[in-house]
Amino acid sequence: MINDRLSKSISDSGWAMFLQFLSYKAQFYGRQIIEVDAFYPSTKLCSVCGYKKEDLRLSDREWICPVCGTKHDRDVNAGLNLLRYGFAYLTGSRGGTAQT
Measured CA to CA, the distance from residue 53 to residue 93 in angstroms comes to 23
Domain match, 18 and 54 both? no
Domain match, 5 and 39 both? no
Domain match, 20 and 60 both? no
Domain match, 37 and 16 both? no
Domain match, 73 and 91 both? yes
pLDDT at 92 over 80: yes
Q: Is 63 helix (H, G, I), strand (E, B) or coil?
A: strand
Domain match, 41 and 80 both? yes
Q: What is the structure's pLDDT at 98?
A: 44
Q: What is the structure's pLDDT at 99?
A: 45
Domain match, 51 and 90 both? yes
36 burial type by CB count under 10 A (0-12 exposed, 13-18 middle, 19+ buried): middle
State how many domains the chain has.
2
pLDDT at 28 over 90: yes
Domain extent for 1: 1-29
Give the whole-number percent of the chain exceeding pLDDT 70.
Answer: 81
DSSP structural state of residue 97 = E
